[in-house]
Amino acid sequence: MTPSPVLNLLVSNDDGIFSQGVRTLANTLAAAGHQVIVVCPDRERSATGHGLTLHRPIRAGMVEDVFDPRIKAWSCSGTPADCVKFALHAVMPRYPDFVLSGVNHGANLGTDVLYSGTVSAAMEGLIEGIPSVALSLVSFTATDFQPAADFANCFVQHLWRSPLTEPTLFSINIPAVPADQIAGVKLTRQGLQRYSETFEERYDPRGKRYYWLAGERVKEIPQPDYLRLNRRIPTDVQASQDNFITITPLQYNLTDINGVNTIEKSNWLDHLNFN
């Protein structure tokens, strides 16, 4: 039997350094014998996307008595993307084998990935050429992150033994059910969700008006044929509803290949009157 590899891992998140999800993930990986460094925001930075801190200093310091003693952990005042940049260029002596982000408290399905700090932390690793994994628990209220952490350990070992030809970001969503109730694992494509978004008007104690973004997911929207890749591959939204662990490969290149091909094969640009 092939011995388990000892991996050099960077762990980050967007829920903050004291969140239960990242603590469970990092401690599980350390208990499996991996070398783990944690760099996370000093507070919750959900839905910050891929923002960077450019107009004020980033403050960071080591954190003790939160994680397994074998783990070196840092708290950072910046965004999730800042945390990974800081870790790679100021903390770690060499690049890690993998960057892991999570486990997020709440799903990152469909268009959620465009806003997600969890996914953006992992995306920063991919930009640096490091295979990366974003992990999310499909619940805002469940508190058992252990099945997700156990799957993460299994997944990185499998990825080490059977790497893809190019570095990839895997967005993984784990259903919030006991491990024996998980239906299985499915390769998925990114879905498209619609939200009923409202801005609640409120007033502060001084009588000044402010607004609070609210809303919830209404439904999944059918995608154009050219985005469906292969009809046999379900969307992450569909598979997650059936209690499957969903694995969606993502990339940072947002070029619309179909749009490029359509324009290139037509005379569409010929009618653009620039001067």
pLDDT tens digit at each of 275 positions of the chain = 567 789 999 999 999 999 999 999 999 999 999 999 999 999 999 989 999 999 999 999 999 999 999 999 999 999 999 999 999 999 999 999 999 999 999 999 999 999 999 999 999 999 999 999 999 999 999 999 999 999 999 999 999 999 999 999 999 999 999 999 999 999 999 998 776 677 888 999 999 999 888 766 656 667 666 555 566 899 999 999 999 999 999 999 999 888 898 898 998 888 887 77
- Count of domains in the chain? 1
Decide if 274 is inside a domain: no
Is 34 in contact with 9 (CB distance < 8 Å)?
yes
What lies within 8 Å, CB to CB, of 250 at 6+ separation is: 113, 119, 123, 168, 169, 170, 171, 190
Q: How many angstroms separate the CA atoms of 160 and 180, rounded?
A: 26
pLDDT for the residue 259: 87
Q: How many angstroms separate the CA atoms of 7 and 95, rounded?
A: 11
Whether omega for the bond prior to residue 103 falls within 30 degrees of 0, making it cis, is: yes
Pick out the residues of the known binding site.
14-15, 46, 104
pLDDT for the residue 258: 85
**Domain range enclosing 29:** 8-190+225-259
CATH number at residue 66: 3.40.1210.10
DSSP per residue over 188-254, as a string?
Answer: -B---EEEEEEEEEEE-TTS-EEEEEEEEEEEEPPPPGGG-S-TTSPBHHHHHHTTEEEEEEE-S--
Is 150 in contact with 202 (CB distance < 8 Å)?
no
pLDDT for the residue 1: 56
Residue 90's alpha-carbon distances to 60, 85, 131, 154, in angstroms, are 10, 8, 19, 29
Q: How many angstroms separate the CA atoms of 230 and 239, rounded?
A: 15
Give kind and range of the element (H or E) at residue 126.
helix 117-127
pLDDT for the residue 155: 98
Decide if 159 is inside a domain: yes
Q: What are residue 188's phi and psi, to 5 degrees?
A: -130, 165
Decide if 32 is inside a domain: yes
Decide if 2 is inside a domain: no
Decide if 51 is inside a domain: yes
Q: How many angstroms separate the CA atoms of 173 and 185, rounded?
A: 10
Is 18 in contact with 51 (CB distance < 8 Å)?
no
Decide if 183 is inside a domain: yes
Decide if 218 is inside a domain: no
Pick out the residues of the known binding site for a divalent metal cation.
14-15, 46, 104
Q: How many angstroms separate the CA atoms of 258 and 256, rounded?
A: 5
* DSSP assignment letter at 180: G
What lies within 8 Å, CB to CB, of 14 at 6+ separation is: 41, 44, 45, 46, 47, 48, 79, 80, 101, 104, 116, 117, 118, 120, 121
Decide if 179 is inside a domain: yes
Q: How many angstroms separate the CA atoms of 209 and 203, rounded?
A: 4
Tokens of 249: 């490969």
pLDDT for the residue 257: 86
